[in-house]
Amino acid sequence: MKIYNTLSRTKEEFKPIREKKLSMYVCGPTVYNLIHIGNARPMIVFDTFRRYMEYKGYDVNYVSNFTDVDDKIIKKANEEGLPASEISERYIEECKKDMASLNVKPATTHPKATEEIDGMIAMIESLIEKGYAYAVEDGTVYYRTRKFKDYGKLSHKNIDDLEGGHRDIKVAGDLKEDALDFVLWKPKKEGEPYWESPWGQGRPGWHIECSVMSRKYLGDTIDIHAGGEDLIFPHHENEIAQSEAANGVPFANYWMHNGFLNIDHHKMSKSAGNFFTVREILEKYDAQVVRFFMLSAHYRSPLNFSAELMDAAAAGLERIVTAAENLSYLSKNAKGDHMTDSEKELLAGTDTFVQRFEEAMEDDCNTADAVSAVFELVRYLNQNASSDCSKEYLEAAAERLATLCDVLGIVTEKEEVLLDSEIEQLIAERQNARKEKNFARADEIRDELLAKGIILEDTREGVKWKKA
């Protein structure tokens, strides 16, 4: 497999640290609101990469964090008059619902920044001891950017050019040694959450969080670090500086970054009025169509979201699902049980399309070409499946299609649709379970409904539900 490595700006042969094992860290969202459609792109594309590696037999340790302490979370908490922790927990749960709707598998570990503060303090102390960081009188700890000689190697920025862009930043009262130094620990402000530290009460800077969580759950050096291209600088650049200074070894061997998602050829922004949450998009489009659309272009390419392209994605997905349904119908009504010799040859003919699919995925996770291979397989199966075929052949053909679609996270079998009365009955059962303090069963019912695309909302007026 070849991966385009942002670090070298070339496609490189992927060589895991340990054979058939993959350690991968993907930067997750800051949880102060519902995730937007731009957040969904890295979630879907790197989930697909993970699925492919598991399909190839890799044992994948996939870590994706939640940033649950941040200025935006604190601002939202102050607006609502609630603790910041309540805001972050609310939106972590909402994020998980959206991920489930998009068929994004839960990470092996979803660490939360607030649960890893001790590790952050320890890493900062180590950086101070090694001379890479310093504390100032107000309790802020800064990283000495210039001391890390390779600073800029990921973003390919020259530190002298960066200095030119920061000349006017240093102002009277600024305690930084250098304008390029960035924050590792910041002192608390009135009304903010804080933790005790050797430098006083405060909270961590954003960049140190991922360095610590990656090290704890994956090790000093990991195979792949991934995220949106907007994170390359300064977030990922600063992660490298912190981690490699503290650990003394390379941080990540490969860096993968997805391109931006635009709305009707414009950058998404609230001021432009084209900012959409995943929840808003799912009110208009089926979640599987959204996922299929996200995979229709190479992950490193910019992707334009428009009604026309979504309609095209819906039509393409329908072709695949219809083929799968046809195979299922034919197999249930098949006249013969066992495959004939000619059918064995027909099934062997599908190997070509599987090979094309794998070649596309091996070439830097080219999902666009992988989808094309699935379309070719669909055309072949449509031409070579009829009521005269055996049950064994039809089931094997369906299984081959379902396997490739599963790598893409596309569900080919429509799940049983619950009637409104059945949903209400399950909600009533859940309410009874909660009254009896059988919270395990209550959670089971919530998860069962979520898996079927039903989202529950506990409100003051009672439990409400809606379809994802």
Query: Where along the chain do its domains lie?
Result: 2-258, 308-408, 420-467
Residue linked to tokens 């430098």: 199
C-alpha–C-alpha distance, residues 235 and 294, integer Å: 24
Domain 2-258 sits in CATH at: 3.40.50.620
CB atoms within 10 A of CB 339: 19
Chain segment 97-147, per-residue pLDDT in tens: 999 999 999 999 999 999 999 999 999 999 999 999 999 999 999 999 999
CA nearest to 286, candidates 93, 81, 101: 101
Output the pLDDT for position 447.
83
C-alpha–C-alpha distance, residues 305 and 288, integer Å: 15
CA nearest to 257, candidates 233, 239, 296, 231: 231
Distances (CA, A) of 7 to 3, 122, 404: 11, 28, 30
Output the pLDDT for position 172.
40
Length of the chain: 468
Topology of domain 308-408 in CATH is Four Helix Bundle (Hemerythrin (Met), subunit A) (1.20.120)
Low-confidence stretches of the chain (pLDDT beneath 70): 163-173, 414-420, 460-461, 467-468
Residue linked to tokens 């309540």: 86
Contact 313, 289 (CB under 8 A): yes
Distances (CA, A) of 261 to 275, 300, 436, 461: 11, 10, 47, 38
CB atoms within 10 A of CB 110: 18
Contact 127, 246 (CB under 8 A): yes
pTM: 0.87
Chain segment 13-55, per-residue pLDDT in tens: 999 999 999 999 999 999 999 999 999 999 999 999 999 999 9
Output the pLDDT for position 428.
86
Output the pLDDT for position 463.
82
Distances (CA, A) of 395 to 19, 338, 340, 403, 405: 34, 11, 14, 12, 15
Chain segment 276-293, per-residue pLDDT in tens: 999 999 999 999 999 999
